Amino acid sequence: MSKLFALTARIGGVGAAVLALAASTTEGDRSNAGRCPAGEQCADDTPEGLAFEGAQVSWFIGNGVAHTAVGGAQTVRITDNLTDAALDLPFTPKVTSAAHQVSVAATAAVTLSASAAGTGYLRITRVADGYLFDRLAIESRPIARMQARPTMNESWPGFGTESWAAWAGERVEVAVALYDSGGGWLIDESLEIASTVQVVRTAWDAAEILPLAAGTLELAVGAGDRNELVQVTVVDTLTQVSGPGPQTRAVGGTAEVCFQAFDGSVRVFGVPWSFQITGPGQALAAAEQDHPSCLELRTTGAGSITVTASIGNRSATGTVEVTGSAARTAPASGWVSRTDLGERAAAVGD
């Protein structure tokens, strides 16, 4: 039975998609100069040990292998430190705790799940004789709290904020963070999200949503052994917008100019910015614009570039000082929008 059965009867279904995330790894015990842990017999095929990469959260950069939520699971990818590539040796995965279960997920990956709270080791062993390639300390904890957060894609170059809101009538990418009782991060890649509004999954813990009106939007979340309604504040007014400090770039380089919008002290995400460039710069094509609150541009001549970001009757500016010389210079000014920037619109002016 779906984890969301009781809640989705009230508020709708789930879409699906996948987003590649920035990642980090956790070193195994043998990565310490290749030493064999006490009480183990180690294989000589992996003299520098292994590195492990678990599911990565969408609202921060890199978490190695975070704790698994009770009732949840995650995929753990395995890298051979000697080759700095995916482990290409046959292996058998094992766990030392009755709270955990493990199975081979792919050539160099395992699925780690947790049926109860506990600690132990994930052991990656040689098929022929059971000797240890490397091992990793693992832990599972129950979910104590769920919270909606803007994804890194939305909050870049920062990590979001505890006090935030979505903009009414515009799509915004939201992650659901899972926490234990001490505030530590938890993982469950089988997490489910549903709402009364459109939901398009972008990662195991994230979805693009379209809040229609100001107020409080509820997301029905099933994760681990829990179902909860997670709230997202939605606003349709702004009191302030702000720009970044000045930057310096060379001619022919690129710059990313990012802006923020606020309703009082609450930062607002999903704002449909329009951008104007004045000076020797060109906006990159739409496919190269990575973050909704930022404009990425290329410098085309020496001088000062001003980027103005506008929403309604509010605007803010950011400047880029360009040094050096170039063969050609862009026209003086032009308007681009996050929502309709095309290949030809990437050139500033007409």
Model confidence over 277-306: pLDDT tens digits?
Answer: 999 999 999 999 999 999 999 999 999 999
pLDDT value of position 337: 60
Name the percent of the chain in helix, strand, coil, to the closest 5: 5, 50, 45
Look at domain 145-235 and name its CATH class.
mainly beta
Q: Phi and psi (nearest 5°) for 180?
A: -85, -175
Residues of the chain with CATH 2.60.40.10: 240-346
Percent of the chain with pLDDT over 70: 86
Residues 25, 76: Cα–Cα separation, whole Å: 10
What pLDDT, on the 0 to 100 scale, is given for residue 18?
Answer: 30
pLDDT at 327: 52
* pLDDT given at position 10: 35
Predicted local distance difference test score (pLDDT) of residue 34: 82
- How high is the pLDDT of residue 32? 80
pLDDT of residue 335: 56
Low-confidence ranges of the chain (pLDDT < 70): 1-23, 160, 325-350
Q: Give the CATH architecture of domain 240-346.
A: Sandwich (2.60)
User: By C-alpha distance, which of 83, 213, 65, 64 is closest to 139?
Assistant: 65
Q: What are the residue ranges of helices labelled H in 37-166?
A: 152-155
pLDDT score, position 264: 96
CATH number for the domain running over 21-141: 2.60.40
Q: Do residues 148 and 124 lie in contact, with contact meaning Cβ atoms separated by under 8 Å?
A: no
Other C-beta atoms closer than 10 Å to the C-beta of 101 total 13
The pLDDT tens digits for 98-156 are 999 999 998 999 999 999 999 999 999 999 999 999 999 999 999 999 999 999 999 99
166 within 8 A of 172, measured Cβ to Cβ: yes
